[in-house]
Amino acid sequence: MSVLPWLVAAWLFCVGIYGIVTSRNFVHLIGCLSVCQSSTYVLLLGIGYQWGAVAPIFYDHPPGTPAVDPVVQALVLTDIVVGATVTALLLAMALQVSRKHETLDPQKLRPFIDEGRR
Amino acid sequence: MSTRLRLALFAVAQLCLLPAIWKIARALPPFGNPIEIYGRSIDTLGPPLRHISNMVSAVNFDFRGLDTVGEEFMLLCAVTGAVTLLRGIRGEDRGAKAERLPGRPLLDRAESTILVARVFAPLILLFGLYMVLHATVTPGGGFQGGVIIASGLLLVYLGEGYDAWRCLAPSRVFDAMEGGGSLLFLLCGLGPMAAGGVFMENLLPLGSIKDVFSGGLIVIENASVAIAVIGGFAMLFLEFMEETRAAETENER
């Protein structure tokens, strides 16, 4: 059972990366990227976990009680917030792509050629 | 390139990475074992050194505050990039009318929707505020609370409609919040240097543990992060919402 968290992280990452490689739509691709990102959350929280430990909040427990690793929790916390804004940035880029190329399919995209210069 | 070829190429690339992946997988600590010394030291030393009980906030805003400055500016860059991309095409004016398919009837908002939104929007805003204020005491903090408050703003839109929402939440306010919050956070780092300390040294009085205003500088940093996160997320909502509006001039043409 103790490898289960690592397997979940690996599975999430593989599912996400398979989606990215075979994606036919940028919005789907950005969703897959978020799935990949979630695998890092599982991995980090798994590394910081300790059997029988409490949350790293010493309000009800006196300081010194075994607690899980607060460093990875802080990492995951900021990662989620920053990840959400980066997703928004990518979606804005997808909007631009669909305006310029009239497609959202990454496999149909060609390098943008300036019509005026040709 | 066909999907099959793409997958084959990807598999080859993975094969090249396999030795590295294997090495890392072997080096992973067994799940549930006692945590690393760094985390354990923070768990032990955090409460007596900083007089706060939430160690995640202690890591974010004090012990690894420098990293959070980086995160904060990643947030600022991502929001600025997204907003610039969206505004770049549309300009700064706000669309007055919603774009809709011709022939589709315009339905009034259901009264039950208004009721639910009016009941829950203040509650969610209050909960977000609670999360922000109790960063040093119980689970919560500027990042989480800021996102909750910004999501509560969406409920205001759902209940009151677009115009009322824009009047309530002008985009200039959010611009100022996003930039100002990041600036305040940076000043929290630079201020102690001006006073002769090191970057982000906690020079303020620490207060007593389990008190909302304990932690000295952490309280201010937490507030600045909350302000920046609220501003950033609200701005993103606003700009994406504006994408679905038709400009008035185009409508009249």
Question: Based on the number of CB atoms within 10 Å of its own CB, is A69 exposed (0-12), middle (13-18) or buried (19 or more)?
Answer: buried
**Most A CBs within 10 Å, among B35, B42, B137, to test the A interface:** B35
pLDDT of residue B91: 64
Average pLDDT for chain A: 86
pLDDT of residue B146: 92
Assembly ipTM = 0.83
Residues of chain B with pLDDT under 50: 249-253
pLDDT of residue B94: 63
Q: With CB atoms and an 8 Å threshold, state whether A63 touches B141.
A: no
Kindly report the length of chain B.
253
Query: What's A109's DSSP letter?
Result: -
**Most A CBs within 10 Å, among B22, B38, B50, B59, to test the A interface:** B59
Work out the minimum CA distance from A118 to partner chain B, whole angstroms.
Answer: 24
Domain boundaries, chain B: 55-90+109-245
Q: Are A37 and A79 within 8 A, CB to CB?
A: yes
Domain boundaries, chain A: 4-108
pLDDT of residue A115: 60
**Most A CBs within 10 Å, among B7, B33, B49, B56, to test the A interface:** B56
* Residue A54, helix vs strand vs coil: strand
User: Taking the model in full, what pTM does it have?
Assistant: 0.85
pLDDT > 70 in chain A, percent:
92
Which of B32, B85, B233 is facing A51, going by the closest CB pair?
B32
pLDDT of residue B253: 35
Contacts of A50 in chain B (CB under 8 A): 32-35
A–B interface: beta-carbon pairs under 8 A: 153
What mean pLDDT do residues A8-14 have? 92
Residue of A24 and A110 predicted with greater confidence = A24
Q: Are B29 and A47 within 8 A, CB to CB?
A: yes
Work out the minimum CA distance from A70 to partner chain B, whole angstroms.
Answer: 5
Work out the minimum CA distance from B224 to partner chain A, whole angstroms.
Answer: 14
Question: Based on the number of CB atoms within 10 Å of its own CB, is B21 exposed (0-12), middle (13-18) or buried (19 or more)?
Answer: exposed
Three-state secondary structure readout of chain B: CCHHHHHHHHHHHHHHHHHHHHHHHHHCCCCECCCCHHHHHHHHHHHHHHCCCEHHHHHHHHHCHHHHHHHHHHHHHHHHHHHHHHHHHHCCCCCCEECCCCCCCCCCCCHHHHHHHHHHHHHHHHHHHHHHHCCCCCCCCHHHHHHHHHHHHHHHHHHHCHHHHHHHCCHHHHHHHHHHHHHHHHHHHHHHHHCCCCCCCCCCCCCCCCCCCCCCHHHHHHHHHHHHHHHHHHHHHHHHHHCCEECHHHHHC
Q: With CB atoms and an 8 Å threshold, state whether B33 touches A50.
A: yes
Contacts of B147 in chain A (CB under 8 A): 81, 84
Q: Are B232 and A81 within 8 A, CB to CB?
A: no
Contacts of A91 in chain B (CB under 8 A): 82, 240
What pLDDT digit, counting tens, does each position of A72-98 carry?
A: 999 998 889 888 989 999 999 998 888
* Residue A50, helix vs strand vs coil: strand
pLDDT of residue B77: 92
- The phi, psi pair for B196, rounded to 5°, reads 100, 5
Q: Which residues pair with A57 in a beta bridge?
A: B54
Q: With CB atoms and an 8 Å threshold, state whether A50 touches B34.
A: yes
Contacts of B33 in chain A (CB under 8 A): 50-51
A4-108 sits in which CATH class?
A: mainly alpha
